[in-house]
Copies of this chain bind each other. A is one copy, B any other.
């Protein structure tokens, strides 16, 4: 079997492999990426993946684990659970969080991109991703939506509204090849991303408040 260091401690090469793999997996998906490209980027030997992580799937799982342990350190979701703030404001914070991490081009930009990809091109690791990363986020959104819709709202309606909101956010990342061809004016720089988050917030707030009025 491959080496099982106690935990959390990683050799230099493992670290480089994780970072390189994260980028490539996020950009191309599990199937398309070759371990040879990962190793080339990490300046490691082709056998490094199998030695340190067993096989390609093991590396992928480790990358998700690595992403999870470092998640939320840049965009903490804390403010969204402050029940004292108005729900509309919490919704704006939530949407900004999602949009910003989806379009952050900073160093570990691949994290949320990898999760977004796992959603539409699932692997064996999807169950763990849903349980540990997606479901907690969804529950945050659920409580916000329920607060705006009011106590009269059915579970089904809350669910559909959640999906409407998150669907708007993810569409801008998933459909980017099409959006760029369809709307060349549409850019996703820091300024536009802020406007995008504002739009989705206003769009959804109006929708939720309309539904709350029973329309």
Nearest chain B CB to A29's CB is how many angstroms away? 8
B residues in contact with A34, CB < 8 Å: none
Nearest chain B CB to A202's CB is how many angstroms away? 7
B residues in contact with A160, CB < 8 Å: 196, 199, 203
B residues in contact with A143, CB < 8 Å: none
B residues in contact with A207, CB < 8 Å: 203-204, 206-207, 210
Q: Does A194 sit within 8 A of B, measured CB to CB? A: no
**Which of A46-54, A62-70, A103-111, A169-177 is the contact stretch?**
A169-177
Please classify the interface of chain A as helix (H, G, I), strand (E, B), loop, or mixed, using the class held by over half of its residues. helix
Q: Does A159 sit within 8 A of B, measured CB to CB? A: yes
Task: Assess whether A178 is in contact with B126, with CB atoms less than 8 Å apart.
Answer: yes
* Given contact pairs A186-B159, A202-B215, A210-B207, A167 touches B177 in the complex (Cβ within 8 A): no
Counted per complex, copies of this chain come to 2
Contact of A167 among B29, B130, B168 (CB under 8 A): B168
Task: Assess whether B203 is in contact with A161, with CB atoms less than 8 Å apart.
Answer: yes
In chain A, residues 191-215, which have Cβ atoms closer than 8 Å to a Cβ of chain B? 195-196, 199-200, 202-211, 215
Q: How large is the interface on A (under 10, 10 to 19, 20 to 34, 35 or more residues)?
A: 35 or more
Task: Assess whether A177 is in contact with B126, with CB atoms less than 8 Å apart.
Answer: yes
Residues of A within 8 A of B (CB): 29, 31-32, 119-122, 126-127, 130, 134-135, 138, 155-157, 159-161, 163-164, 166-172, 174-175, 177-179, 181-183, 185-186, 195-196, 199-200, 202-211, 215
The 5 closest A-B pairs by CB, nearest first: A206-B210, A167-B171, A207-B207, A122-B177, A203-B207
